[in-house]
Amino acid sequence: MNVEEACEEFLTCLYVERGCAQNTVESYRRDLARYKRFLSERGKESVGAVERLDVEAFVASFAELDYAASTAERALSAVRGMHSFMVEEGMEDKNPTLGVPMPQSPRKLPQVLSIEQARVLMEQPFACTPPAQRDRAILEVLYGCGLRVSELCGLDCAEVFLDEGLLRVLGKGSKERVVPVLGAAGIVMRAYMDTWRPLLQRGHSSTNAVFLNQRGGRLTRQAVHAICEKYGRMVGIERLHPHTLRHSFATHLVEGGADLRVVQELLGHANIATTQIYSHVDRTHIRWEYLSAHPRAHMK
């Protein structure tokens, strides 16, 4: 059967037998028309002549024309559906789409603060009140320790070891890890734990939570989101998300020369592949590292 007839048979089946919406059928029609033109240019007029390499080339053509991976994925779904239909109906013996992988969308880089933005955020004036100093500690710990917002909200006093400069964190899958709380984060955390947290808890029932609301209870994730947005907005950073501070923590570590395996451990990633997204160091940094490290970089 030629490709055009096969496409029409499949589209009719979608609309009449499977009851697909008209918009869905038209979307499939456009993708299959593109596929038919592509095969015709390769001299493939019959479905039986189509090979897996033809399908792979069709998928690759989207990338060559800078189409989004989602567009290629949708087109491949239509092509797979047509070839599967032909085999199921006994009109063809082989399905050339078997084993053809779906195109992968490039992983979106997370939003990251610059080092200067992080400095301005942390060094802005904070009122000398228990809530404001709690908020300061929250920002410092999110950026200085790379915690997830759920880990920060779940942190208990028994898991804070400021003399050793450590926090014990319960991460995803109830996996424990130990992260350092040093430098500015350690200083601000000690002031919060010694001075400001007792004031937030005063007159309320006892709780083990580190970060408290003004009623002495455990702070919620929604409250932490609001805190980040509030203080970000005050220094010109719109819609600052707690996870942005975690991303910034990891990115700035990598840019500063930290080993990716160490960053993986600090973030609590089970797989190094998850951590590799943070290796997107800026080009200026790469150039500086090259010039400072390569023995022949300065030869003219």
DSSP state of 211: S
Distance CA 90, CA 53 (A): 23
* 299 pLDDT higher than 70: no
| Rounded mean pLDDT, 219-246 | 96
Domain residue limits, the chain = 3-88, 115-289
CATH number given to 115-289: 1.10.443.10
- 293 pLDDT band, cuts 50/70/90, is confident
Per-residue pLDDT of 119-153, as tens digits, reads 999 999 999 999 999 999 999 999 999 999 999 99
Which amino acid makes up residue 249?
F
Q: Is 82 left (phi over 0), alpha (psi -120 to 50) or beta?
A: alpha
Give the pLDDT score at 221: 95
- Give residues with Cβ within 8 angstroms of 235, minimum separation 6: 117, 120, 121, 124
Q: Which residues are catalytic?
A: 148, 172, 243, 246, 269, 278
pTM metric for this prediction? 0.64
Give the pLDDT score at 204: 86
* 179 pLDDT higher than 80: yes
Distance CA 237, CA 231 (A): 8
- 255 pLDDT band, cuts 50/70/90, is confident
Distance CA 22, CA 26 (A): 6
Residues 232/239, Cβ–Cβ less than 8 Å: yes
Distance CA 166, CA 103 (A): 43
CATH number given to 3-88: 1.10.150.130
- Give residues with Cβ within 8 angstroms of 193, minimum separation 6: 157, 160, 162, 210
**The two structure tokens encoding residue 298:** 């300065």
Residues 227/218, Cβ–Cβ less than 8 Å: no
| Rounded mean pLDDT, 99-125 | 86
Per-residue pLDDT of 154-168, as tens digits, reads 999 999 999 999 999
Least confident of 9-18, 60-69, 161-170, 207-216: 60-69
